[in-house]
Amino acid sequence: MPGKAVRRRSGAPSKGDLREQKILEVLEDLLAVKSFDALTTNDIAERAGLSRASMYFYFSSKQEALVALFARTVEALREKSRAAADDPAAPRDAIATALRRTRDRWREHGLIMRVAIDQASTIPELGALWTETAEIFIDAIAAILVRAGVAAHDAPDGARALAGAVCWMVERTFYHASAVSIEALDQAAATCEVVWLRIAAIEP
């Protein structure tokens, strides 16, 4: 009808959504060749084909863009962790699946995850995102440990305490290995699986 605006199809990204996505993709690409500290907002805007003013319409700083990129990255980790907690498979298989999914995410986005972890001390939002994500993973690890027969009490040898140790072991191990090579990351995942199985009293 004349004078009636055409409604965008539900689910179709707007131009603004696509530009924001482009900025985040550009940021991740630039971090492969330039440190975050050396990177400028103008670098991001130029690579994305935007003016500096247009860049500020979407993100007020490179820090804000990094937070958005990291949030997008860890959301998949959260989903996979929730899936691990609900995995009906035997504990051995659930552990293997959880570590494989986590390893795959580090394979795809290890760089941005390392940068975000490094910047977390100066950008509180990054630290909060990572801590929240870790808590979801800890819940999943604890659930699997309990199903494997580990006591659910609050003592140091209880499932929750052990799950926390496993979570941060995986984080540090994957952090370092992902900076070396895919092969190193695969080896790290295999080693973490052995440790997790032994904590669960399952023969590797």
Give residue-wise pLDDT tens across range 58-71.
999 999 999 999 99
pTM: 0.86
The angle formed by the CA atoms of residues 81, 84 and 90, to the nearest 5 degrees, is 160
CATH number of the structural domain spanning residue 175: 1.10.357.10
pLDDT tier, 17 (very low <50, low <70, confident <90, very high otherwise): confident
28 is in which domain, residue-wise? 11-60
Beta-carbon contacts of 21 under 8 Å, excluding residues fewer than 6 positions away, are 13
Same domain for 81 and 48: no
Q: If you ran DSSP here, which 8-state letter would residue 95 be given?
A: H
Model pLDDT, residue 177: 98
Same domain for 153 and 55: no
Residue 65 lies in a domain: no
Same domain for 32 and 77: no
CATH number of the structural domain spanning residue 16: 1.10.10.60
- Helix, strand, coil percentages (3-state) for the chain, rounded to 5, are 70, 0, 30
> What is the count of structural domains for the chain?
2
**Helices in 10-90 by DSSP H: which ranges?**
15-31, 41-48, 52-58, 62-85
